[in-house]
Amino acid sequence: MPSTHLFARLRRRPARAALISLATVVCGAMALAGCGGAATSHGNSSDNTIKIGVLLPYTGPFGLYGKPMEAALRARFAVDHDRAGDHKVQLVFEDEATDAGTAVTKANKLVDQDGVAAVVCCATGAATLAVGPILAERHVPQLGPIPNPDGLSKFKTAAVAAPTAGHDAGKLGTYAADKLGYGTAVVIASDFDYGHEVADSFKEQFIAAGGKVVKEVFPPLGTTDFASYLSQLPHADVAFAGFAGADAIHFVQQYDKFGLKKKMPLIGHGPLVTELVLNQIGKAAVGVGAGFYYSSTLDTPENKRFISTMTAANPSFVPSHFTAGAWATGSVLLDAIARAGDKAGDGDALAAAIRATKIDAPWGPLSFDPQTGYAIAPTYYYTVTSQNGKLTHHDAVQMP
Amino acid sequence: MSPAQIALQLAIGLSFGLLLFLLASGFTLTFGLARFVNLTHGSVFLVSAYVATSFSGRGSYGVAVLAAGATGLLLSVVVYSLARLRWSRVGSDELVQVLLTFGVLLVFAEGGRVLWEGLPRSLPEPGFASGSWQIAGLTFPGYRLFMGAAALAIAAALWWLQERTRFGAMVRAGVDDREMLEAVGISAGPLFLAVFALSGLLAGLAGGIGAPVLGASMGQEYTVLVLAFVIVVLGGPGNLKGAFLASLVVGLADAFGKALMPTFAEFTMMGLVVLVLAWRPQGIMGGAR
């Protein structure tokens, strides 16, 4: 039994010798990994396989989005049998842990060790912006799967497969004044980048369309009890809210509980009543309006294909803009790699191909602004209704 | 603010403060009696709240709250058992306690994230308290009234336990002088176990009763822990009366802070801590037992 013999010998070794041998093994492994990484990144252009790195949060506060988004990307690639043109495409997933520092480390790992041709990043704004300059410097295309903050436009190799949050909120501002006929509004949003972006855009467009903002309130991110903020809101024709996640659940529930919904209609940017929070909010969400680029109820062939493919694999699948965005990101990549052809391994060429993509996304036609790299997509207005005890969006109309 | 609005903020602040007392009372008991800094308290609250929300749609509200209480009790006993494995190291060294319990806090919270997929969840209000009260054009949700009343009832039971039973006398004696308590022949081990269990039960009940208002969501383990810390610092460690008073003060400061200075709402509570510590470093009721 040579193996037991070896174990026995190892155990007899003094601790220091064991440490030294461990250190040697670790150093050796690191050197090997370095060589391997260099080899793959050089061999990339001649090899027919294109690797795509994907940075998603699997742990930390946004950890819930990683797995479903991975499933949607994989499912979209599987529809095309993991092939784009003459290339075989392969996805490499890494956990960005809802942390900008980790995202940077993993982005470097994807480029250096895995030799990826492009990186899908990220589901959180801070990680997206932190990874941006690193990938741009190395001419590796970056593709954002969901509405990312508007700080990527300065990088020619970056693109986002969704309009900015501010874009959709601005459209809602115009729509609220012009079509919904509201003259005055109260604006209440989370006190961080996202909240301020949607609040500012809504306010700007609402005022430009002749509306008046009576008051703006910014409760901190992670507020669970909005009661005191709500009771101090002045009266206006409408309230615009910019909250996401747990904050959205608490806000909409308490807005109803404190009797405000009866006095002042509530509208907001999409995440306020996304499918992921809708049934947790409960009846309080009925009648709330939202401006957004995606709803699972949109009647497009691509949305039906997306939902039926995902539901076939997982019957309890809940579609949302996170997974629809991951699906559309897959479509963009497959299309761009096929069009880039032999040049798909060249970062600048692939980035240009991505920005030139015109495809059908679950929410309708998707193309990119050649100047900024952000997606050009329709924006819809819909309200929440209750059907057979289940809450759902309805009456989605495209905003002008 | 009009008088009606002041009354509304008072009601919001008091009902929230009473819930905070449930949360903080267990924390202050383990801190005061066992000299044990139990950071897992935050994640015990979170996991209990998640357990309560998993009863939404099936089973009754009462079952959900009791299940939350039982979860809290169980988790706290697990924490005590873990600490007991190396009590000679853990029991006397606060730094070791902080490291150990912070690790367990992460494990519990991550376990909750895996079990409930990290999605924020909520528990519907029970039918008997789902209405709202209309007073002078202002609306107050019935459940908040019930929440405050339920928390007050549990606080009263806790007061009775503390002041009128042999168990309470032992706990109070232990807080004041643990060596003397052991010298008169009362073993600290079972007493600590009981206090940990009680502390977990209270955190669990707070999670369950608070679920229709606060829900359960990742990150809550830290926010409630900070609130518990603030209350223990303000009230004095191990002092239930102090914790009760501090909870109400914190609840009211939170309500009026949000209403009057929405942008500085997070600062109001910490500003309060600074003021109290400058005025009475031993806490509002510290040294007044």
Enumerate residues 6+ apart whose C-beta is below 8 A from A272: A241, A242, A243, A244, A248, A251, A252, A288, A290
Residue contact B258–A219, C-beta within 8 A: yes
Query: Rounded mean pLDDT of B86-97?
Result: 83
* Residues from chain A contacting residue B215 (CB–CB below 8 Å): 224, 246, 249-250, 280
Q: Which of residues 249-268 of B touch A (CB under 8 A)?
A: 254-259, 262-263, 265-266
- Does the distance separating the beta carbons of A225 and B214 come in below 8 Å? yes
B246 belongs to a structural domain = yes
pLDDT at A372 over 70: yes
Return the percentage of chain A with pLDDT > 70, whole number.
88
Q: State the Cα–Cα distance between residues A240 and A292, nearest whole angstrom.
A: 13
Q: Report the range of poorest mean pLDDT among A392-396, B39-43, B267-271.
A: B267-271
Interface of B with A in 137-196 (CB under 8 A): 138-141, 143-144
Q: Tell me the C-alpha distance between A213 and B168, whole Å.
A: 57
Asked if residue B132 belongs to a domain, the reply is: no
Per this entry, what is the length of chain A?
400
* Mean pLDDT value across residues A139-152: 88
> With an 8 Å Cβ cutoff, is B55 touching chain A?
no
Between the alpha carbon of residue A233 and those of residues A83, A187, A230, A264, B86, the distances in Å are 55, 9, 5, 10, 54
User: Is the complex ipTM higher than 0.90?
Assistant: no
Antiparallel, parallel or unpaired: β A158-160 and A184-189: unpaired
**Who's near B99: CB < 8 A, 6+ residues apart?**
none
Is B45 a member of any domain?
yes
Residue B126 lies in a domain: no
Q: Where does the pLDDT of residue A47 fall: very low under 50, low under 70, confident under 90, or very high at 90 and above?
A: low
Residue B86: pLDDT band with limits 50, 70, 90 = confident
B289 within domain boundaries: no
| Contact at CB, B258 and A229, closer than 8 angstroms | yes
Distance from CA of B169 to the nearest CA of A (A): 37
Within-domain flag for B270: yes
Q: What is the pTM of this model?
A: 0.83
State whether B113 and A257 contact (CB < 8 Å): no
- Among the partner-chain residues B13, B143, B214, the one whose CB lies closest to the CB of A224 is B214
CB contacts, 8 Å: B119 with chain A: 64, 276, 280
Can you say whether residue A329 is alpha, beta or left, with left for phi > 0 and alpha for psi between -120 and 50 degrees? alpha
User: Which range has the top average pLDDT, A38-42, A145-149, A165-169?
Assistant: A165-169
| Higher pLDDT among residues B57 and B35, named by residue | B35
Residue of B nearest to A262 (CA): B139
CB contact under 8 A, A250 and B220: no
Range of the domain at B259: 3-118+137-279
Q: Which pLDDT tens digit goes with each residue over B175-211?
A: 788 888 889 888 888 888 999 999 999 999 999 999 9
Per CB-CB distance under 8 Å, the chain A contacts of B139 are: 257-260
What is the rounded CA–CA span in Å between residue A285 and residue A252?
Answer: 6
Q: Is residue B286 part of a domain?
A: no
CATH of the domain at B110: 1.10.3470
CA distance A251 to A284: 10
Contact A217 B262 (CB under 8 A): yes
B117 touches chain A (CB under 8 A): yes
How far is Cα A220 from Cα A191, in angstroms, rounded to an integer?
5
Mean pLDDT of chain A: 86
A 10 A CB-CB count for A240 gives: 30
What is the mean pLDDT of the segment spanning B128-154? Answer: 86
DSSP codes joined into one string, A294-335: --TT---HHHHHHHHHHHHH-TT----HHHHHHHHHHHHHHH
pLDDT band (50, 70, 90) for residue B269? confident
Task: Specify if B92 maps to a domain.
Answer: yes
CB contact under 8 A, A246 and B143: no
Predicted confidence (pLDDT) per residue in A314-344, tens digit: 998 999 999 999 999 999 999 999 999 888 8
Count CB neighbours of A29 within 10 A: 10
**CA A21, A24, A28, A30 torsion-angle sign:** positive
Q: How many domains does chain B have?
A: 1
Cα–Cα distance for residue pair B114/B108, rounded to 1 Å:
10
Separation in Å, CA of A228 to nearest CA in chain B: 5
